[in-house]
């Protein structure tokens, strides 16, 4: 096994080579003289570099020699100096010979050589400190570009707390007051919902099923899972689907169970992938608890003995669970949730809001549309993801639950704020409670009286609102 070049040795060798080059340049004019030519041939005859194929034993032996006082460490001719300092072309004997010549040559002073080596060493040290830090930052970067605790639009001072209070008051006067439940209700077997159930895994998959479809379709998909795989009779997941049975089932069975809800091909694959990941994580956590390892997730060390025993028992019985997310901070819970296939910031925020019962302003298509019309996000710049990061900072925590619910209800039912609407739409004359606060833009622009009304009875076709809007 060949020895590697240490940083200090690399820096000293680079300094030596640089100093030699500087010293040799003035003597190039005399190098063609017969005397100098003959002397050069003699001095280099014993230092001719050998190719690895010519003397493999010599190279192998020299690379195994330990560093001794007054000599440089052994090098392999195929080694590269670290940090792009160049390639190594000399064996140990050649380097030592160069060092002796430099000490005998009055043109290269020892203190100058040491100074150059010190400067190069500082450069190497600085590089080795910066690169790992850059790699660490890159590894921790959120794939969705979320900015927890900071808005991506710091110059956009809206909405103000007063604006949030006003919109909440106006929408409550039409849709009723929304108060977060003190206790999470028992899971429904007929309604998918947005994750307002005790089990975190149940909440996650229910929310996934409700995405990009209507409430009716997501309920059909969830009902199919209940009928085919059954429900749990005990534990914190009591009343939810037997997710372990879903995990072990063939993909085609999961597809058949949810196909009535639409997008079954995509969603069945995501559900299977999520359940496989949860199972693997549950087993890894159990092994850490059994072995008493202290270098695992921080929440494991904080558990009581009873909690540890319960988690071990759940893993032994293949009861799939994500309930440890209850103990994480909102930021850490978000990071954990978005790592699963098909789970973006909106789905994760719904789980945090409804299941973990933390203030978190999930942004769906209805909310995004109305917030743009309200001027709460920069026009032309914001996306659903950046809007989430911005509104999460700007909206007061005590209003996040109610505003989330109210804006969705309003976006679905208001004749003037629905996804596809115009002055000729049915019910437009009924007005809008926030009409004086919004500026409608795009195809739904208020000043477009020629927009045709789509009649479901006449056309027999569903509008965009019925097909590809989330029904949260």
What's the pLDDT at 215?
85
421 assigned to some structural domain: yes
What's the pLDDT at 368?
97
Location of structure tokens 């290269």: 108
> How do the pLDDT tens digits run along the chain, 472 residues long?
445 555 566 566 666 665 555 554 445 445 455 554 454 444 444 444 444 444 444 444 444 444 444 444 444 444 444 444 444 444 445 545 555 555 555 555 566 666 666 766 666 565 445 444 433 333 345 567 888 889 999 999 999 999 999 999 999 999 999 999 988 878 777 777 777 888 999 999 999 998 888 888 999 999 999 999 999 887 767 778 899 999 999 999 999 999 999 899 999 999 999 999 999 999 999 999 998 887 778 888 888 899 899 899 989 988 999 999 999 999 999 999 999 999 999 999 999 999 999 999 999 999 999 999 999 999 989 999 999 999 999 999 999 999 999 999 999 999 999 888 788 888 899 999 999 999 998 764 544 443 443 333 333 333 333 333 344 4
460 assigned to some structural domain: no
Residue 375 sits in a domain of what CATH number? 1.10.1670.10
Could you tell me which of 185, 207, 205 has the C-alpha nearest to residue 194?
207
What's the pLDDT at 139?
38
The whole-model pTM stands at: 0.65
Joined together, the tokens standing for residue 414 give 């208001």
Q: Rounded to whole angstroms, how far apart are CA atoms 65 and 68?
A: 9
25 assigned to some structural domain: no
Could you tell me which of 335, 364, 278 has the C-alpha nearest to residue 270?
278
Joined together, the tokens standing for residue 170 give 């106006």
Question: 267: Cβ–Cβ under 8 A, 6 or more apart, which residues?
Answer: 208, 209, 221, 258, 261, 342
Q: Are 230 and 240 in contact (CB under 8 A)?
A: no
303 assigned to some structural domain: no
Q: Alpha carbon 398 to chain centroid distance? A: 28
Sort 222 into a burial class: Cβ within 10 Å, 0-12 / 13-18 / 19+: buried
The beta strands (E) that lie in 6-119 are given as: none
Range of the domain at 405: 156-180+359-445
Task: Please spell the DSSP secondary structure of 142-157, one letter per residue.
Answer: -TT---TTS-S-TT--
Could you tell me which of 73, 57, 55 has the C-alpha nearest to residue 65?
73
Helices 200-210, 264-291: axis angle to 10 degrees equals 160
370 assigned to some structural domain: yes
79 assigned to some structural domain: no
φ, ψ (nearest 5 deg) of residue 231: -125, 165
Q: Rounded to whole angstroms, how far apart are CA atoms 229 and 248?
A: 10
What's the pLDDT at 460?
37
What's the pLDDT at 107?
55
What's the pLDDT at 120?
62
Per-residue buried b or exposed e for 248-279, using 16+ beta carbons within 10 Å of the residue's own CB: ebeeeebbebbbebbbbeebbebbbebbeebb
What's the pLDDT at 70?
45
Joined together, the tokens standing for residue 84 give 């792009």
132 assigned to some structural domain: no
Q: Rounded to whole angstroms, how far apart are CA atoms 381 and 351?
A: 27
What's the pLDDT at 12?
64
431 assigned to some structural domain: yes
Count of alpha carbons within 13 angstroms of residue 282, beta-carbon side? 22
Q: Is 241 helix (H, G, I), strand (E, B) or coil?
A: strand
Joined together, the tokens standing for residue 466 give 């019925």
Could you tell me which of 157, 161, 147 has the C-alpha nearest to residue 395?
161
DSSP structure class, residue 137: H
Q: Are 407 and 365 in contact (CB under 8 A)?
A: no
What's the pLDDT at 265?
94
**Which uninterrupted H or E stretch holds 294?**
none
Q: How many domains does the chain have?
A: 1
Q: Rounded to whole angstroms, how far apart are CA atoms 323 and 448?
A: 50
Location of structure tokens 């039409």: 174
What's the pLDDT at 15?
61
């Amino acid at each position: 096994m060949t020895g590697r070049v240490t940083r200090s040795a690399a820096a000293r060798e680079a300094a030596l080579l640089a100093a030699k080059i500087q010293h040799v340049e003035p003597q190039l004019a005399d190098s063609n003289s017969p005397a100098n030519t003959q002397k050069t041939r003699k001095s280099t005859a014993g230092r001719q570099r050998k190719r690895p194929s010519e003397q493999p034993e010599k190279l192998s032996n020299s690379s195994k020699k330990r560093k001794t006082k007054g000599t440089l460490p052994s090098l392999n001719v195929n080694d590269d100096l670290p940090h792009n300092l160049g390639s190594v072309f000399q064996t140990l004997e050649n380097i030592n010979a160069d060092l002796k010549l430099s000490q005998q040559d009055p043109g290269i002073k020892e203190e100058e050589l040491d100074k150059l080596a010190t400067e190069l060493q500082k450069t190497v040290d600085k590089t080795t400190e910066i690169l790992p830090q850059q790699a660490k930052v890159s590894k921790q970067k959120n794939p969705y570009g979320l900015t927890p605790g900071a808005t991506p639009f710091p110059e956009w001072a809206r909405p103000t707390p007063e604006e949030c209070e006003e919109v909440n008051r106006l929408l409550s006067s039409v849709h009723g007051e929304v108060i977060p439940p003190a206790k999470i209700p028992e899971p429904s077997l007929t309604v998918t919902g947005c994750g307002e159930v005790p089990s975190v895994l149940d909440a996650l998959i229910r929310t996934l099923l409700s995405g990009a479809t209507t409430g009716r379709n997501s309920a059909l998909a969830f009902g199919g899972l209940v009928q085919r795989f059954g429900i749990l009779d005990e534990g914190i997941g009591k009343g939810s689907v037997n997710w372990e049975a879903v995990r072990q089932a063939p993909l085609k069975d999961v597809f058949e169970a949810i196909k009535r809800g639409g997008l079954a091909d995509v969603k069945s694959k995501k559900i299977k992938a999520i359940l496989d990941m949860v199972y693997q994580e549950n087993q890894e956590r159990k092994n850490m608890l059994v072995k008493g390892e202290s270098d695992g997730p921080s929440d494991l060390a904080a558990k009581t003995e009873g909690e540890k025993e319960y988690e071990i028992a759940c893993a032994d019985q293949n009861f799939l669970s994500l309930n440890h997310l209850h103990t994480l901070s909102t930021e850490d819970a978000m990071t954990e949730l978005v790592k699963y296939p098909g789970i973006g910031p909106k789905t994760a925020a719904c789980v945090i809001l409804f299941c973990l019962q933390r203030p978190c302003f999930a942004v769906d298509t209805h909310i995004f549309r109305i917030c743009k019309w309200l001027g709460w996000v920069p026009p032309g710049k914001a996306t659903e993801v950046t809007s989430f990061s911005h509104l999460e900072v700007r909206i007061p925590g005590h209003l996040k639950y109610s505003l989330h619910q109210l804006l969705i209800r309003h976006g679905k039912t208001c004749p003037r704020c629905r996804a596809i609407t115009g002055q000729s739409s049915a019910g437009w004359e009924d007005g809008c409670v926030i009409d004086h606060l919004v500026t409608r833009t795009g195809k739904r622009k208020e000043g477009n009286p020629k927009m045709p009304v789509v009649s479901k009875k006449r056309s027999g076709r569903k509008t965009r609102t019925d097909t590809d809007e989330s029904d949260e």
